[in-house]
Chain A
Amino acid sequence: MERWRITAGHVPGPFGLALVLIAVVFAIVEAARAYRKPVPGVSPRLRAGLFALRCAGALALLAVALELSLSFETTSAAGPRLVILADDSASMSIADAGAPGQEAMRRVDRVRDLWQRSADARAAWKEQGLAVQVRRFGEGSEALTGEAEANLELTARQPASDLTRALAELAAVDPAVDPRPLAGVIVLSDGLFDRTDRGADDPLVLAARELGVPITTVSAGAPHLVDLALTELRAGEFAFVENVVEFAADIEAHGLEGARTEVVLRRDGQVVATEPFVAPASGETTVRFEVAPDRVGQFVYEIEVRPVEGEASPHNNRRAFVVKVLRDKVRALHVAGRPDWDVRALRTLLGRDPNVELLSYYILRGADDADREDPLAPLSLIAFPTDELFKEQLGSFDLVILHNFDALNHQVGRYLPDIGRYVEEGGALVMIGGDMGLATGDYPAPALSAVVPVDLRVPTGLDTEAFRPAVTDAGRRHPITAWIDHSGLSDWSALPALDSYNPAKLARHEAEIGSAVLLRHPEGGPLLTIAEPGRGRVLVLSTGASWRLGFHADLPIVDGARPYDLLWLGAIRWLLRDSAADRLTLETDRPTYLLGAPITLRAAALSPSYAPEAGVEVAWRVQPLGHAADDPGADPNAPVTILSQGTWTTDALGRASETLGGGLSVGAYEAVAQRAGDESAGAAQQARRVFLVQAAGRELTRLASGPGDERLERLAEATGGRWLRAGDGLPAEPPLKAERQDRERVDSRRDVPVWSGGFAMLLLVLCLGGEVLVRRRIGLA
């Protein structure tokens, strides 16, 4: 059917429109009055011609002012829509069967088969005047047309199936774009949707009700499934080093009763524990791993139940998670040459911290004291187990403190090289002065001297004159002593004077081991010196009087703490590489990313004195954390594939960053940053972060068709639709909305502008001008 109408291209504002209409009406009324009023010498025909000119001019004015056009439309009647929503998610690729022994069939193939078998039903829908639209849905939804519609082309690869979103997209269709009313929906799916089933408050049911049409659901799944799936994982984000932590995984088994396999726990791709697993007839089994992480850091752990033959999908057999392993108890060895107030103060501080496991050995009497002692006196003294402490267990300590200790007198001299190696390999060493040790040259081993920033070859002696230390520039910034400057105490006038000093000199190699003097004696000698030899850290305090910073008549309290506590807690944090004290840090903006999301790496470099270090070249790389270690076919010596790498130069604030596009596939990755050209320094100059890339949702977590069927049935019931199985076929008369509302559909439209092209303007000028001219000639103007 064809029709035409006049449309206005421009409608002026109310005032303008009123003005135009009033002018036109006035002009026509005035012309009509003139026509009806007889004028001598003017024939009625001439009056009629003048009236016609006026009307034509007024119409031309309207056409120009309102930009009038003629619209010619071809229309047809439009029936209501029936929308088919076909599930295109990965779970539709799972093969299952009606019963054991039957041939398994992929769910997507079952749906396609249904589609082909229901050709008659589809033809019936068209005969009923229903406009059939076919859409596939996964994370979103899209229409299928032509061949794709005819063959119901589905990939069954989408990482999620969000039916709620697909229904919402149907509800959002603009009637101006598609005026056909929605009459019904048919969902072809296994019912394993992303969103949680929450009964009446289920967002899916709410969205379906909002649509206001019956939804017919067709189950694509079949009851017999063969699969093992890791369905739930229970693991904390944090664990403590050397403390047992439990990771538990729920494993759901279907159709594999008695099958034997194993469940594997990996850390950064390396197998750390294995548990045997015998599949139950059906249902969930919990497998637990108890592990004690042996070092601090951030790690990717993964639990995998090794696939067995015939499983519907191996992709739901593993789950990875990131765990940050923190230091729990610091194991500290405190050896002192004699009891005094300095030993007491440090012991009290360390003993107060529940995170410190303190092992102390203080020399309570010398050989000459023993000579004088009554041999029968009951003493509580025990032997000094030098071999055990400095040979067997040295590596188990996080921190070794040699406190005014005359090592040579106590047969520890032979172990000094071991202490040097301990530091090289990552240990932390503190040497505290006094009247022995540094004073008497008790640390003469070259291997130890090589890692200590002060000269140990020469006995320093002891100066007992009181003095006030000077804070160096490095000391103002360093985390051990920065609090002094921040508290306005840099001149030391408000802090207690110290009354013992070992006038040590810096070692010749101090620059090579990254040393920095934080506090100096007023005469310039080093008082508090730190260094980072090899992978370890060393602190030398050339006084045995630091206890005075915690016990004084006018002791200032800084942020609620004694200066002594601030000094030593800062020192211990730095020595133990508390993350706040690392000189090169690397962070990712998140531990876990969705597939395709950008990943940002940020690094920060600090100088040995903890100032932001500009211009530092930092090499970075991103590489996968693979499974080569337990893959029999994998080459253990194969080089790690670097997926992305580059070099940063830190800015004025010591920072650098990189944003990686979302090109990484699902898996675990390791980002490593290292000061360029400093590979030998190992962990000291290296920072590492791990992260995961995961698919949205957990599409393949639970694959059994039963819960999906129940959900589809409830959805149909809630909307007045029907629940069917794929074997039933599509209904020729599906439930539709009760009141059928056919609408007129505009198939084509052609607009002819009246006002454009100068015709209307010419008509306007000719009509109005002609009327004026005629009036003048006949004497009416």
Chain B
Amino acid sequence: MLRTRRSLLAGAAGLCAAAATRPLRAQEPGLFGPLIGDEFREPTAVLTVDLPQLQYPGKWNPRPGAMRELAVELRLRTRLEPVREPSVVTAESRKLFDTPFLYVAGEGQLPALGGAAETALGRFLDLGGMILFDAADGGTDLGFERDVAALLGRILPGAALTRVAADHVLYRSFYLVDTPLGRTNTFDHVLGIHEEGRLKALLVRNDLGGALARGESGLFTWPCTPGGADQREWAFRFAVNILLYATCTDYKADRAHVETLLRNRRWR
């Protein structure tokens, strides 16, 4: 009985809260008179963004499900609407150009992709695409990093991977992040190629995918060391930042944002 009464009270309180919050939307049209049709509608269809991952001969998917997990977190934390099942593309596929973002994971090495594939990747970057390279070895083997640098040297002649400065907008595109953590905490910075006012390629060497991926059991597949759950949360935050940077570029470097953050002492 007590439980029923509490339930009723809780229900009544919930209705009141709903009534209190509802007018926000109901009042808006009221400012201009009644709307024709529905007063407010959720989108009937949503413009989604894909987070495609490159498939290539070799260990192209060392952290299965990492992008799917990132898509889930992006939907929960931001207004981005990633697809529920990110796609897998090959470099020779026309689907490569369905999205100006590409996730390339690898472990140990990145084999040569072939002339056609590299030409396509070069055009992908020239037209405005961004590639996120993720080294799953977490700093224990520099083979993948070496191969990525060689690949980028071929498809972007004259460009070189350099350290992305700590004050780059990448570290504040959504969260204020100090260190690009992943499954490991080996490197305190990421590498990138900055051309034409944007990051064309980004190389993360702390196994970002390893921090994101969950197994079929629903549990995270790989432990984050040495920081554990906190480190994983920061890895998610950095991953969110990367996608926000990919979609908004240097939006958070606009003067209005910088001045506000400095004024509120939220960023130094």
Whether, in the assembled complex, B128 has its beta carbon less than 8 Å from a beta carbon of chain A, the answer is yes
The interface residues of chain A lying within 8 Å CB-to-CB of B78 are 339, 364-365, 369
* Complex alpha-carbon distance, A444 and B33, angstroms: 9
Whether, in the assembled complex, A550 has its beta carbon less than 8 Å from a beta carbon of chain B, the answer is yes
* Complex alpha-carbon distance, A104 and B40, angstroms: 87
Evaluate whether A414 and B79 lie within 8 angstroms (CB atoms) in the complex, with A341-B49, A381-B174, A408-B25 already known.
no
Whether, in the assembled complex, A377 has its beta carbon less than 8 Å from a beta carbon of chain B, the answer is yes
Whether, in the assembled complex, B111 has its beta carbon less than 8 Å from a beta carbon of chain A, the answer is no
Determine the residue in chain A with the shortest Cβ distance to B176.
Answer: A378
9-residue interface stretch from A295-303, A457-465, A742-750: A457-465
| Contact B244–A358 (Cβ < 8 Å) | no
* Complex alpha-carbon distance, A547 and B249, angstroms: 15
| Contact A417–B32 (Cβ < 8 Å) | yes
| Contact B247–A444 (Cβ < 8 Å) | no
| Contact B248–A458 (Cβ < 8 Å) | no
| Contact B47–A459 (Cβ < 8 Å) | no
Most buried by B among A341, A373, A544: A341
| Contact A416–B80 (Cβ < 8 Å) | no
| Contact A382–B256 (Cβ < 8 Å) | yes
9-residue interface stretch from B11-19, B63-71, B259-267: B259-267
* Complex alpha-carbon distance, A351 and B32, angstroms: 35
| Contact A409–B25 (Cβ < 8 Å) | yes
Whether, in the assembled complex, B129 has its beta carbon less than 8 Å from a beta carbon of chain A, the answer is yes
| Contact A379–B97 (Cβ < 8 Å) | no
| Contact B251–A362 (Cβ < 8 Å) | yes
Chain A interface bracket (under 10, 10 to 19, 20 to 34, 35 or more): 35 or more
Contact among B35, B41, B233 for A457, CB-based, below 8 A: B35
* Complex alpha-carbon distance, A22 and B24, angstroms: 126
Determine the residue in chain A with the shortest Cβ distance to B36.
Answer: A457
| Contact B97–A380 (Cβ < 8 Å) | no
The interface residues of chain B lying within 8 Å CB-to-CB of A457 are 35-37
Evaluate whether A377 and B175 lie within 8 angstroms (CB atoms) in the complex, with A351-B197, A382-B256, A408-B29 already known.
yes
Within 132-151 of B, Cβ neighbours of A (below 8 Å) are at none
The interface residues of chain B lying within 8 Å CB-to-CB of A362 are 248, 251
Within 152-181 of B, Cβ neighbours of A (below 8 Å) are at 172-176
Whether, in the assembled complex, B252 has its beta carbon less than 8 Å from a beta carbon of chain A, the answer is yes
Whether, in the assembled complex, A440 has its beta carbon less than 8 Å from a beta carbon of chain B, the answer is yes
Determine the residue in chain B with the shortest Cβ distance to A416.
Answer: B32
9-residue interface stretch from A84-92, A487-495, A522-530, A551-559: A551-559
Interface size on B, residues (CB 8 A): 60
| Contact A348–B32 (Cβ < 8 Å) | no
* Per-residue contact bits, chain A 611-625, to B (CB 8 Å; 1 contact, 0 not): 000000000000000
| Contact B100–A341 (Cβ < 8 Å) | yes
Contact among B31, B43, B77, B257 for A369, CB-based, below 8 A: B77
| Contact A444–B77 (Cβ < 8 Å) | no
Contact among B35, B36, B43, B250 for A439, CB-based, below 8 A: B43
| Contact A344–B44 (Cβ < 8 Å) | no
| Contact A352–B252 (Cβ < 8 Å) | no
* Per-residue contact bits, chain A 432-450, to B (CB 8 Å; 1 contact, 0 not): 0011100111001110000
* Per-residue contact bits, chain A 223-252, to B (CB 8 Å; 1 contact, 0 not): 000000000000000000000000000000
Whether, in the assembled complex, B219 has its beta carbon less than 8 Å from a beta carbon of chain A, the answer is no
The interface residues of chain A lying within 8 Å CB-to-CB of B80 are 338-340
| Contact A434–B31 (Cβ < 8 Å) | no
Min CB gap B198→A, angstroms: 7
| Contact B94–A380 (Cβ < 8 Å) | no
Evaluate whether A444 and B32 lie within 8 angstroms (CB atoms) in the complex, with A339-B247, A365-B77 already known.
yes
The interface residues of chain A lying within 8 Å CB-to-CB of B100 are 341, 344, 547, 551
Whether, in the assembled complex, B254 has its beta carbon less than 8 Å from a beta carbon of chain A, the answer is yes
Min CB gap B177→A, angstroms: 8
The interface residues of chain A lying within 8 Å CB-to-CB of B251 are 339, 347, 360, 362
| Contact B41–A380 (Cβ < 8 Å) | no
The interface residues of chain A lying within 8 Å CB-to-CB of B118 are none
* Per-residue contact bits, chain B 235-261, to A (CB 8 Å; 1 contact, 0 not): 001000000101111111010110011
Contact sample, A vs B, 11 pairs, CB 8 Å cutoff: A339-B244, A341-B99, A344-B249, A351-B249, A379-B174, A381-B174, A408-B40, A414-B28, A439-B43, A439-B45, A444-B35
Q: Beyond A347-B248, A553-B97: 10 further Cβ-contacts under 8 Å?
A: A338-B79, A340-B81, A362-B251, A364-B78, A369-B77, A369-B78, A379-B176, A380-B176, A441-B41, A446-B33
